[in-house]
């Protein structure tokens, strides 16, 4: 049940931020501060390329790749998680959460909260970490922990290129991670129940 508890805590973060930014387009003070820090420490030339790592096509391909890899290793639960988790996170964020919150960035009518690209990148990173844990235990987590730099880099790029505010990115990372963790909890419970009945 650890996955479920972590997912609920992450969804709380998203909900708290959503209440604060709902139906607005102005940055919060923390968004302005984060933008200044990112502009100071982050090179502008690399950002557009990094942002592409969170695009729906890349996320879909990585999810399918991880799913096939898990399937080949006989990990059907891992394959289901990889194939469904990032896709579910992307669909939920674009078709449910963004319209509910209604936040745009200044000067656009595009819905921005939570960031879909940050959601996708975080979902893929979370799938990779869960698969590493399933295969190698805690040692796998230590080896693969750096994969979480990908959603952080995508988020930094989104803020640096003014496509999103930092709070959009934080909510996207929390939401993508939360959806995958919740799905992992459901798959674990299903597998446990199934094993108990056979």
Higher local confidence (pLDDT), 120 or 194: 120
Q: For residue 110, give every residue at least 6 positions away whose Cβ sits within 8 Å of its Cβ, in sequence order, or none.
A: 104
Arithmetic mean of pLDDT over the chain: 89
Neighbours of 105 (CB within 10 A): 19
Dihedral angle over CA of 182, 184, 187, 191, nearest 10 = -130
pLDDT of residue 52: 84
User: For residue range 80-108, what is the model confidence (pLDDT) as tens digits?
Assistant: 999 999 999 999 999 999 999 988 887 78
Q: What is the pLDDT of residue 195?
A: 75
Structure tokens at 126: 């979370």
**3-class SS of residue 104:** strand
The residues, ordered by sequence, that sit 6+ positions from 26 with a Cβ below 8 Å of its Cβ are 106
pTM of the predicted model, to two decimals?
A: 0.90
pLDDT in tens, 117-160: 999 999 999 999 999 998 888 888 888 888 889 999 999 888 88
Other CB atoms within 10 Å distance of the CB of residue 169? 32
Residues whose CB falls within 8 Å of the CB of residue 139, separated by 6 or more in sequence, listed in order: none
* d(C-alpha 58, C-alpha 123), whole Å: 12
Q: How far is CA 173 from the centre of its chain?
A: 4
Instruction: Report the pLDDT averaged over residues 176-180.
Output: 96
Q: Flag whether pLDDT at 46 surpasses 70.
A: no
Of 65-69, 102-106, 151-155, 168-172, which range is least confident? Answer: 102-106
pLDDT reported for residue 160: 87
């Amino acid at each position: 049940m650890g996955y479920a508890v972590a997912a609920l805590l992450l969804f709380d973060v998203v909900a708290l931020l959503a209440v604060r930014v709902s139906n607005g387009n102005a940055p919060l003070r923390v968004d302005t501060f984060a933008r200044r820090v990112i502009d100071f420490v982050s090179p502008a030339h690399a950002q557009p390329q990094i942002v592409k790592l969170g695009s729906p096509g890349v996320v879909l391909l990585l999810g399918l790749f991880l799913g096939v890899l898990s399937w080949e290793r006989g990990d059907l639960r891992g394959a289901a998680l990889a194939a469904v988790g990032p896709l579910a996170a992307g669909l939920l964020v674009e078709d449910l959460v963004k319209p509910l919150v209604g936040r745009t960035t200044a000067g656009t009518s595009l819905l921005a909260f939570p960031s879909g690209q940050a959601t996708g990148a975080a979902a893929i990173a979370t799938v990779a970490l869960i698969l590493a844990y399933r295969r190698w235990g805690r040692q796998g987590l230590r080896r693969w922990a750096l994969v979480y730099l990908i959603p952080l880099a995508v988020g930094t790029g989104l803020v640096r290129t003014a496509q999103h505010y930092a709070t959009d990115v934080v909510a996207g990372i929390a939401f993508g991670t939360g959806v995958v963790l919740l799905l992992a909890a459901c798959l674990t419970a299903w597998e446990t129940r199934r094993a108990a009945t056979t």
